Structure 1
């Protein structure tokens, strides 16, 4: 980078500093002093944090205390539930470590790599390799990774919206500070690193950009609410159970076993675990598709998306362009190709259009640039002033030319065929005028430059998928509206035949929301408008995903519910997006949406199973405790801890694990807690009532251990039978593997009562035919009541929803 013109001594020193950068010796000196950007780039939690978070949990602590109590009685088999501590921890640790490896690898691929000048050469370095006083180059789309001071600037504009919230770019000149976390919108320059490491704001951004986190989401907030309610219920139920067990005529070991059996199933030990596993597996699956998930709730968010706003360039079309034709307009004495070659050569960071022009006109024009105005998405044009040749501009014809001129009409005719058309012309005033920098004035058209964009092979199939899933797609582009509409029409996007020029959109929120909600294709959209359009859609209750790859997409990516950036896009776009498609394949997005729906739908199913168990366990503890206190002498809790363990295995644990990983394409809807409790609460109440009724019908009274064992077995038969029916409801709609799952769990449960070895191990005695028939009759009554409650619930929902939609 050179500073042209007469220079003072200080300016010459500055020029040398910019050109040379630090020497190897100077870099080594700063490393030795610890003046490095030494913040570790973590894509996920450390291995120790993963182990600690999965082992030292509140639920594991409760289970550990109860296990110690049971083991102290000498009945080791009744402490089988303690295996859950080990199993839950191991499964969670293994899944998260696999996710960590995937995220670490992908984060390294996706991180920003600034160009740092050392010993007179520029090279891309990782952010943590930068040292204090390094000279860092910057161009359009580059993220500023450390705090610094501008050394050289050429029409440099920096967007500091990530820091200040102000969307207008800020002009920067030598001596101005630049803050990490901002990014370059237009122009080029260099800055010296003044704050590195933990002193720089970017240190926190870089660490957070790809971290494996579970931040706030409707799903996790709902689960936390449920667990809070359960905690309040545990206290009275637990106290009552303890009082009842110790007030009867039971030996201390038996009383302790009954107390533990009452308390263990109240805790939904696997709910949080299954949620984490489902998210982690989702990240792993997406990672295999070269999709970097910066935040885990992004998977959940995509499950709720009903509008996808897609940028045309880089999303529906490939980034690369080709010069298709050059149409001279006869208004200049200079060959258009020479001027185009000069404009392409003078831009230090050419965009895709200038790259295509440079490929078509690689020869040296011999023109010397005296002032350069790089392309800006807000201006829609670039230009330069050449010595002896005047001021030249290249940009959008509908921006540079007034309405009604022949040249603009011809440009619109060409653009209607899906081509990108640029105008080459002479500017009417100096581009570097101090009172109006970058204002071209009246433009004399010289030539129309026609560029071709290739539509992505996977774009049409992807749009078709979204249409089939009732997800609206809106194409929002900075290009000519007619041109964008032609591309969208070729992909059979509904509504593409009536593209909207964003310059005609109303500015007030309500009317803008109505216009954006109605339209499908929008052209000539400024970065600020993209942001406003996303906000307008959100104001109408839509969950919006924004895809893009350029600097002009950053504001919208940041404000959308889910930001999806292309891996080849600007570092700024990748830094603010929750999801990065590292393979740049738009066709990956349906897989991301499908993964989100799988996760959210399956967690809802799993939550229903766990909460059903919690409801009937709390109610059983309360009912048995109250009954024992009001006159039923020595009514022990019906189950032993080992009974609770096998019930959890076959009606919740194994099925929940399988269901949490199963395919699920249902779009997520709000109201997670309500839908879960609509089935879990009545089912839990019915199971508790049926189980307690079965227990009372066959309970022999005190002093009959054989009869007590038979009564417990009968109550367990009722419990498992109705719980398996609930499992069948949760697994609907039926498919062969779900039928097989329920049948398999039923068979395994039955074997526990049939095989002599399991009957002896788990203290089961189903030999009393009358008791077994009573248990099955109570189970049948419970099943009927559950189906009646579901039928009533559906009638109520139909009454509320005229469309008759049901969950």
Structure 2
């Protein structure tokens, strides 16, 4: 593969097709000053202060101007702090990229890439531009972008979005979008946009102060004219009247609200929440609808072995063999770590190993006979862990067990088959065919059905119950499959779902009135989306843009909405909500835009706050 020449790359860079991009600041300091200081209300009060100075009432002038100055200082301090966080926000680290130029691989700064460059992605690399695969196959972790917890396979002709991470395989990717046009930079630009979410109380205080100030001015003008004609504006009576009129204006109310917010923020911090926008303490008390992300919010980042169904062997034998496999893999993944946590075992060096691949959908180990070790010798052979639709036909899984697999899958669980092909005393199989391609061994026999589920946070159910008891409506929004999200919602006891689940997560199929796919919602206009969101509780396969639209639709219905998230895919919806809440273990971008951060990921803080 030749790629572009240096001359072609330079020509495209001159045409503005390079990847160099300097993101603009989120907001200017002048705009922050103007928003906080140059308001009509402040102008009126400062004008009154100048009049008081002219009348020689310096103390009254100070008491009029000082609260306003303090409030401006506090407001500017908060907004400058938020600006700095947003300006540092980046969705992609700036590593080097491996590009093919003139048939030679070289490492370059991502800013040197141009449209049409062929970029090589290998395990551990993060895509820094958007492109399409021209050669090879890889598995991508797109959790940063979509929130989906499982890697996805991509082959020739399929797209790769910037921000995704290669977790297996390798491919050559032709760059199709660079600079501000890439997916990650478009998301970053929107995430960096500044917002000023004022609460109802702040609006009420502003209106009250403005109304009193206007009334004061309306009274002061005729009174001033009267004093001008009878005794002069500097007469003792005029000065006393001015002092009385100024005392009517509650200019200290705004700063007292700020002080009250600060005291409440301290109290909330003791409960385990970090307030990043001071009026968030009021917003929390006004929330009537709470939107939750699934992975990392209701659940931990782990999966657990929920059920093991032995087939043709005793449970202890199936558990022993499975524990040995999980302990012996060279590169544990989420699945083998979950098995090892439930079934600890001792590792045995395998004679051959096939790592899991989402394209292959199975993994395997081969154990050889070992003289003198009767138990190990009896368990020599090929061991396979994989998807039922791949391993089942090869092992001729019986129909009754196929029905069990289907039932568990319909409940939203991840179902795997554990199978073994016994080995003779001869040399071990290497799980390859004559063309050196990985293959399932002959003579496979299914030993167990494994049912894995995402681990709920220990406090999830109690927290949801407390929120529902407080009158807060709940919505669960995720990038995962609708059935999976609905099953987990039932396990967590999310109110409003028919067929409440027991510990295994079993329940009635999701009704279209309570569960919806984001792919069905994307074509809807805002009015239709608002109508649908009003009667829907669970949303699956939702991308970041649709998630933000769902939050906005709830706000358009008059709800005061809070959004809880932990990933970059939640950033837009957090910014669109009245109150954005991030988990402390979430991404830096999510924490940067959040109004409230849950320390130690303590979900149970929400009802208390």
| TM-score, normalization by structure 2 | 0.56
Confirm or deny: 8 A CA contact 1:153 1:172 kept in the other structure. Answer: yes
CA change 1:235–1:570 in 2 (3 A) is: closer
Give distance in 1, aligned partners of 2:569 and 2:509: 17
Deviations 1:755-802 (A, max 9, x none): xxxxxxxxxxxxxxxxxxxxxxxxxxxxxxxxxxxxxxxxxxxxxxxx
Give distance in 2, aligned partners of 1:218 and 1:393: 54
For residues 131-146 of structure 1, the aligned pairs below 5 Å read 132-133=111-112
Greater shift, 319-328 or 572-581, is seen at 572-581
1:465 alignment partner in structure 2 = 466
Confirm or deny: 8 A CA contact 1:158 1:170 kept in the other structure. Answer: no
CA change 1:500–1:314 in 2 (3 A) is: farther
Give distance in 2, aligned partners of 1:320 and 1:511: 36
2:585 alignment partner in structure 1 = 568
Confirm or deny: 8 A CA contact 2:461 2:492 kept in the other structure. Answer: no
Structure 2 counterpart SS, 1:116: coil
Deviations 1:607-633 (A, max 9, x none): xxxxxxxxxxxxxxxxxxxxxxxxxxx
1:116 alignment partner in structure 2 = 95
Structure 1 counterpart SS, 2:562: strand
1:488 alignment partner in structure 2 = 492
Structure 2 counterpart SS, 1:470: coil
2:352 paired residue among 349, 354, 366: 366
Higher helix share: 1
Give distance in 2, aligned partners of 1:534 and 1:472: 13
Structure 2 counterpart SS, 1:315: helix
Confirm or deny: 8 A CA contact 1:372 1:385 kept in the other structure. Answer: yes
2:63 alignment partner in structure 1 = 83
| TM-score, normalization by structure 1 | 0.45
For residues 252-291 of structure 1, the aligned pairs below 5 Å read 252-254=234-236, 257=239, 260-261=242-243, 264-265=246-247, 267-277=249-259, 291=273
Confirm or deny: 8 A CA contact 1:423 1:445 kept in the other structure. Answer: no
Deviation of 1:566 after TM superposition, in Å, equals 2.7
Deviations 1:502-534 (A, max 9, x none): 4755869999999987887x6x94336995986
Confirm or deny: 8 A CA contact 2:276 2:595 kept in the other structure. Answer: yes
For residues 386-405 of structure 1, the aligned pairs below 5 Å read 394=387
2:228 alignment partner in structure 1 = 246
Give distance in 1, aligned partners of 2:130 and 2:534: 42
Deviation of 1:202 after TM superposition, in Å, equals 6.4
Structure 1 counterpart SS, 2:222: helix
Give distance in 1, aligned partners of 2:484 and 2:287: 27
1:307 alignment partner in structure 2 = 289
Deviations 1:301-325 (A, max 9, x none): 4433223344555334433334466
Deviation of 1:586 after TM superposition, in Å, equals 0.6
Structure 1 counterpart SS, 2:464: helix
1:422 alignment partner in structure 2 = 415
2:197 alignment partner in structure 1 = 215
For residues 471-482 of structure 1, the aligned pairs below 5 Å read 471-473=472-474, 478=481, 480=484
CA change 1:407–1:534 in 2 (3 A) is: farther
2:500 alignment partner in structure 1 = 497
CA change 1:284–1:307 in 2 (3 A) is: same
| Structure 2 unaligned residues grouped into runs of 5+ | 7-18, 100-108, 114-118, 147-151, 314-319, 367-381, 420-444, 502-506, 522-526
2:361 paired residue among 379, 383, 392: 383
1:451 alignment partner in structure 2 = 452
Give distance in 1, aligned partners of 2:409 and 2:51: 79
1:154 alignment partner in structure 2 = 138
Give distance in 2, aligned partners of 1:558 and 1:194: 26
Confirm or deny: 8 A CA contact 1:567 1:582 kept in the other structure. Answer: yes
Give distance in 2, aligned partners of 1:143 and 1:288: 38
Higher strand share: 2
Give distance in 2, aligned partners of 1:487 and 1:38: 46
For residues 57-72 of structure 1, the aligned pairs below 5 Å read 59=41, 61-72=43-54
Confirm or deny: 8 A CA contact 2:551 2:573 kept in the other structure. Answer: yes
1:687 alignment partner in structure 2 = none
Give distance in 2, aligned partners of 1:199 and 1:278: 44
Deviation of 1:106 after TM superposition, in Å, equals 8.4
Give distance in 2, aligned partners of 1:70 and 1:171: 73
Deviations 1:550-598 (A, max 9, x none): 688778767765554433346776677665435222123234xx3xxxx
Structure 1 counterpart SS, 2:404: helix
Structure 2 counterpart SS, 1:501: coil
Structure 2 counterpart SS, 1:319: strand
CA change 1:354–1:468 in 2 (3 A) is: same
Deviations 1:150-191 (A, max 9, x none): 7887255979999xxxxxx99796997856xx7679988798
1:437 alignment partner in structure 2 = none
CA change 1:200–1:225 in 2 (3 A) is: farther
1:717 alignment partner in structure 2 = none
Give distance in 2, aligned partners of 1:341 and 1:585: 31
For residues 621-632 of structure 1, the aligned pairs below 5 Å read none
2:542 paired residue among 513, 519, 527: 527
RMSD: 6.6
Confirm or deny: 8 A CA contact 2:130 2:161 kept in the other structure. Answer: yes
Number of equivalenced pairs = 501
Q: Which has the higher Rg, Structure 1 or Structure 2?
A: 1
Is the aligned partner of 1:406 residue 2:400?
A: yes
Structure 1 counterpart SS, 2:352: coil
Structure 2 counterpart SS, 1:527: coil
Is the aligned partner of 1:584 residue 2:601?
A: yes
Confirm or deny: 8 A CA contact 1:407 1:445 kept in the other structure. Answer: no
CA change 1:172–1:234 in 2 (3 A) is: farther
Give distance in 2, aligned partners of 1:136 and 1:272: 57
| Structure 1 unaligned residues grouped into runs of 5+ | 1-7, 15-34, 121-129, 163-168, 375-381, 427-443, 595-807
Give distance in 1, aligned partners of 2:110 and 2:449: 47
1:93 paired residue among 50, 54, 73: 73
CA change 1:412–1:268 in 2 (3 A) is: farther
